[in-house]
Amino acid sequence: MRRHCIVVCLGLIAGCHSDAPSGTYFPLDAGHRWTYSVTTKTEGGAVERETLVMRTLGASSDAVEGGRAWRRRSDSGIDYWVRADDTGIYRVASKSDLEDQPRQDKPQRFVLRAPFVRGTQWQASTTAYLLMRRNEFPREISHKHPSIPMSFQIESEDETVDVPAGHFAQCLRVRGTAVLRLYADPVRGWRDMPLTTTEWYCRGVGLVRVQRDEPAEQLAYVTGGVRTLELVSWE
């Protein structure tokens, strides 16, 4: 479940071009492989580290509605189908190994909306990946709040990013913000909990870094944390 949340968080999306846009900010053509390090730090001081691998498997027209789409697979056992056209890059379906058929995204879920310039905005759903109840079961707040609207905006077209895979320049920086209203504790009552995602996409490489912030500000009933994903290698 935790690895599933990592992939969906980062993921976190009509016809397409006849050829895959391999030189874009989100390469789709077959044969690519990205290895990421994922670090999760909770407000209680715990630190967890793991590795995530994503692969591109090429295009097909028989798996999802609407014709041809490009398939990406995570080593956590989740497949995604993505399209790219003049409106941007967007996911149209997803499927875990436990599901028989892909689940269609209706409406489609944008990864990056065109034009890829500062100020471009869009919206997609998210959930709480790090916020947890201290004394309830299940602890994951995502069970009760599976779909939270998040607003995204391209904040920069000229970011420089250093990750274990190397130094990257002229990257997009995308910021997503959302608010989840929760009952915090008997003293503070209901609180608006901020959820923030910052993503860096580099031309020809794709996603190189993600930071997800879900602070709980030492509330009595809720704990939060920070999760970062950094590119270690790609091909």
Q: Which of 40-44, 141-145, 157-161, 171-175 has the lowest mean pLDDT?
A: 141-145
Is residue 2 over pLDDT 60? Answer: no
Distance CA 37, CA 84 (A): 27
70 close to 56: Cβ distance less than 8 angstroms: yes
Residue range of the domain that includes 91: 2-234
Is residue 211 over pLDDT 50? Answer: yes
* Exposure on the CB side of residue 152, measured as CA atoms within 13 A: 25
Out of 2-6, 107-111, 163-167, 179-183, give the one with best mean pLDDT. Answer: 163-167
Q: Which of 7-21, 30-44, 133-147, 171-185 has the lowest mean pLDDT?
A: 7-21
Query: For position 182, what pLDDT does the model report?
Result: 86
Query: For position 12, what pLDDT does the model report?
Result: 42
Buried residues in 163-178 as b, exposed as e (16+ CB within 10 A): bebeebeebbbbebeb
Residue 15: CB atoms within 10 Å: 9
Is residue 233 over pLDDT 90? Answer: yes
| CATH number, domain with residue 55 | 2.40.360
Query: For position 83, what pLDDT does the model report?
Result: 94
Alpha helices in the chain (DSSP H): 2-10
% residues pLDDT > 70 (the chain): 90
Domains identified in the chain, total number:
1
